[in-house]
Each structure stands twice: as structure tokens, then as C-alpha cells.
Amino acid sequence: MFPNRNSFYSYSGLTDAMAKFPAFAGTGDERTRKRELAAFLANIDHESGGLVHVEEINQAAWGDYCDTGQPYGCPAGQRAYHGRGPIQLSWNTNYKAAGDALGLDLLNNPDLVKEDASVAWQTALWFWMTQSGAGTMTAHSAITGGGGFGETIRTINGALECGGRNTAQVQARVDAYERFAATLGVDPGDEGTLRC
């Protein structure tokens, strides 16, 4: 599925992380579970360039992800909270929340996400399972609750891609989703729910 995958993104790292989130691809009937897996794979494919990039490639944006208005600030430095991992976790607020949920000090040591494959996958699944981003549902509930693939896009990058913004990026995600769904032998769902 990822022929050019960076060896950092190991299968054992993924399965270790999945053990911490048993509802991931484990909720609903077989079709729903396969759709969730296809949706997750499509989004991480898009976010990481096919599981090639461990860190955000646009280094010019690295200093843009520090919300200094938070009481905990940015102790690892202004440029420390750029995108890392398969879902490109970014912002000090997300590193703090993910670290708290996972029992890791990601706020002070965000590089754990690029140094430990299990941690990288855990942050991706944490975001997928618990965060609503620009949407009203998590990516997990978007698929298991009938919102459709488009709602996963809204959750992950809706502020930049949904509502007619960056339609090429949305289409790239949809194309990847349809490809992974076909690989997994499941229909992608209603055409009207594929975009945001």
C-alpha cells in the first residue's frame, strides 16, 4: 500500500499503537471497519506523502505552530511544534493534549514523535479517535457514525481545505480514499459524503 514508505513507519509501531485504541477499525460492521481503515490510510497517505515524511517538509512554516497564549507556552522552542508523524501532529496545544492523553511529555519533547514509531502512530490514532478539529465529530465518528469521508477531511484540515478552499487537496484525499477502499474490497460510500 505504501511502496516508498520510510522504514520509520513500521507495522509493529502501528499495531502497538492500535492496542491502545481498540475501537479504531473495530467499531461497527465489516464494511464500516474497512471504510475507517481506508479513510485513515488515505489521510495519512496525504499528510505524510505516502508515509515518506516523518516531519513537515515546509520548514518555512515551522515557527507558525506555537500558541503563546497558552499558560504552558512553548517550552521546547518556537519552531518545535511543527508537523510530525503520519498525521503530521502540529501546534503546542496538540502536543500537550496528546502527551497528556498518552502519558508522554510531548510538550517538552516533541521530537519523540519523530524518534519512536509507536509514539508517532499513537499521536495519529489519538488525533483520529479524539479530536474534532474544524468539524463537529472525530474522524473515527465521521466514519462510524455515517458522516462520511468528507468529515474526516474537515476534522484533519478543514480550515484549510473545506468549504471550497483548496479543492485539489480535497480531491487528492478522495482519490486516495477510493484507492484504499478498492484495495480493501469495500465501496467508499455515498458520493455526497466524500468531500467537505
Verify whether residue 47 is a known catalytic residue: yes
Q: Which of 30, 36, 47, 115 is catalytic?
A: 47
Over the chain, what HEC string results? CCCCCCCCCCHHHHHHHHHHCCCCCCCCCHHHHHHHHHHHHHHHHHHHCCCCCCECCCHHHHHHCCCCCCCCCCCCCCCCCCCECCCCECCHHHHHHHHHHHCCCCCCCCCHHHHCHHHHHHHHHHHHHHCCCCCCCCHHHHHHCCCCHHHHHHHHHHHHHCCCCCHHHHHHHHHHHHHHHHHHCCCCCCHHHCCC
Catalytic residue positions, numbered: 47
